[in-house]
Amino acid sequence: MNSYMMALARENPALIVNGCSPGFVETALTIPFAQAQGKTPQEMGMISPVQAAKTFDFLMFSPESKTGWYYGSDAKRSPLHKYRSPGDVPFDGDLSDLNQ
């Protein structure tokens, strides 16, 4: 899906096309996972749907949103080749660590 997003962004320069992850959201689908572990959703690191909407709000309404990028649950640019935790510095596009 991310490759398709990047292709759409490249083919449609007049549009802003991005991908994002809302994160590990507390929903009817994820709560049983926490319960099976004997933990609360918060102990599992789940965020509320309101918190998850932050990225969608940023992508829809922020003039700072670029095109062809992938954003994490904290509305910051994230790499496609490795995990970036919410709160970590945004991805700067440097792929020099790709072959490490």
Q: Tell whether the model's pLDDT for residue 98 goes beyond 80.
A: no
Q: Tell whether the model's pLDDT for residue 84 goes beyond 80.
A: yes
User: What number of other Cβ atoms are within 10 A of residue 84's Cβ?
Assistant: 17
User: What number of other Cβ atoms are within 10 A of residue 86's Cβ?
Assistant: 18
Q: Tell whether the model's pLDDT for residue 63 goes beyond 90.
A: no
pTM as predicted = 0.81
pLDDT of residue 46: 94
pLDDT of residue 100: 62
Distances (CA, A) of 19 to 9, 37, 65: 10, 30, 11
* Contact (CB, 8 A) for 98 and 81: yes
Of 56, 46, 50, residue with least CA distance to 26: 46
